[in-house]
């Protein structure tokens, strides 16, 4: 458990909880603690789905600019790969991941939310990539993940201008997937994650990998990725359980074991 980031587990749901007052600024220590929490969530069999949460007031307001302001070009050449890979560890969790976005998710905070499979936001949440206003660009995946999510034109508008995106617009353009009252954000995210607590874990893993890897390649390569993942699941115990249950009891009644 890190000083500012911890993994809390209950009923099959792991919450990666950011807690660096006041705004969850993402300094180097927080970045590395995010990586450690994501790796722990990946390895633990009792974690079947993950919520990324910054607390009731703020998701993460961005990088620690005071720390970054003193870094040279060579400092950032050395650090930038680790920055991207720390967030990438969240994107690579082979389980369903939801970001519960409250308050501000700006800069690195928005990039962290983009690493989740879906985003549930408060009705008063504010997202954006304001790096251009500092004379830089997003460096933790924003130019790539945002573009893939909302399309090049919308991503350029948001990144070029550095403007804030309020919850209603974020929902309309697909930057977030659901908007709920602020007091309900975490509960809604946990409810979404909890539906997978008894699901076929390796089938979920295969589905996520097929979608994520397939979206980066041409159709034929994507279909081959899917074919391999599909065939591989016939080696799992859950596939046997699922099909036997369907034949004997109909759909939706299988009790999977996660193997």
Q: Over the stretch 61-91, which tens digit does the pLDDT of each residue have?
A: 888 888 888 889 998 988 888 888 999 999 9
The pLDDT, as a whole number, for residue 83 is: 87
Residue 108: active-site member: yes
Q: Which domains, from first to last, does the chain contain?
A: 5-194 (3.90.226.10), 201-249 (1.10.12.10)
Instruction: Tell me the C-alpha distance between 258 and 49, whole Å.
Output: 12
Distance (Å) of CA 232 to CA 49, 221, 238: 22, 17, 12
Catalytically annotated residue among 111, 116, 170, 182 = 111
The pLDDT, as a whole number, for residue 70 is: 87
Q: What is the CA radius of gyration of the chain?
A: 19
Nearest CA-CA partner of 20 in 4, 36, 37: 4
The pLDDT, as a whole number, for residue 64 is: 83
Neighbours of 238 (CB within 10 A): 20
Q: Which portions of the chain are predicted below pLDDT 70?
A: none
The pLDDT, as a whole number, for residue 28 is: 92
Instruction: Tell me the C-alpha distance between 165 and 189, whole Å.
Output: 21
Catalytically annotated residue among 37, 49, 61, 63 = 63
Please check whether residue 61 is in contact with residue 25, taking contact to mean a CB–CB distance below 8 angstroms.
yes
The pLDDT, as a whole number, for residue 17 is: 98
The pLDDT, as a whole number, for residue 254 is: 92
Distance (Å) of CA 25 to CA 14, 64, 163: 22, 5, 19
In whole angstroms, what separates CA 93 from the centre of its chain?
8
Please check whether residue 88 is in contact with residue 145, taking contact to mean a CB–CB distance below 8 angstroms.
no
Distance (Å) of CA 70 to CA 27, 66, 80, 82: 13, 7, 14, 18
Catalytically annotated residue among 12, 14, 103, 108 = 108
Q: What is the pLDDT of residues 85-103, one digit of tens each?
A: 999 999 999 999 999 999 9
Residue 131: active-site member: yes
Catalytically annotated residue among 109, 128, 131, 206 = 131
Classify strands 97-101 and 13-18 as parallel, antiparallel or unpaired. Answer: unpaired
State the angle between helix axes of 201-214 and 219-232 in degrees (0 to 180), rounded to the nearest 10. 170
DSSP letter at 255 equals: -
Residue 63: active-site member: yes
In whole angstroms, what separates CA 237 from the centre of its chain?
28
The pLDDT, as a whole number, for residue 63 is: 81
The pLDDT, as a whole number, for residue 40 is: 97
With tokens 């599909």, the residue in question is 230
Instruction: Tell me the C-alpha distance between 117 and 96, whole Å.
Output: 6
Count H helices and E strands in the chain, helices first.
Answer: 11, 9
């Amino acid at each position: 458990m890190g000083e500012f980031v911890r993994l809390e587990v209950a009923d099959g749901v792991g919450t990666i909880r950011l807690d660096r007052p006041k705004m969850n600024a993402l300094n180097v220590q927080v970045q590395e603690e995010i990586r450690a929490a994501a790796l722990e969530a990946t390895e633990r069999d009792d974690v079947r789905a993950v919520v990324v949460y910054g607390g009731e007031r703020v998701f993460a307001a961005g990088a620690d600019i005071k720390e970054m302001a003193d870094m040279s070009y060579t400092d950032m050449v050395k650090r930038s790969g680790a920055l991207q890979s720390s967030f990438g560890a969240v994107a690579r969790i082979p389980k369903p991941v939801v970001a519960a976005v409250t308050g501000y998710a700006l800069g690195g905070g928005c990039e962290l939310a983009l690493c989740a499979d879906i985003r549930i936001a408060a009705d008063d949440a504010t997202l954006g990539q304001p790096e251009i206003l500092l004379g830089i660009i997003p460096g933790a995946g924003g130019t790539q993940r945002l573009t893939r999510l909302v399309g090049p034109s919308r991503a350029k508008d948001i990144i070029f201008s550095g403007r804030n995106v309020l919850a209603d617009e974020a929902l309309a353009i697909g930057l977030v997937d659901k908007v709920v009252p602020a007091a309900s954000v975490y509960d809604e995210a946990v409810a979404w994650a909890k539906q997978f607590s008894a699901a076929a874990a390796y089938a979920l893993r295969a589905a996520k990998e097929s979608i994520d890897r397939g979206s980066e390649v041409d159709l034929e390569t994507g279909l081959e990725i899917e074919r391999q993942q599909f065939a591989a699941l016939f080696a799992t115990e859950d596939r046997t359980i699922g099909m036997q249950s369907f034949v004997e009891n109909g759909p939706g009644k299988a009790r999977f074991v996660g193997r």
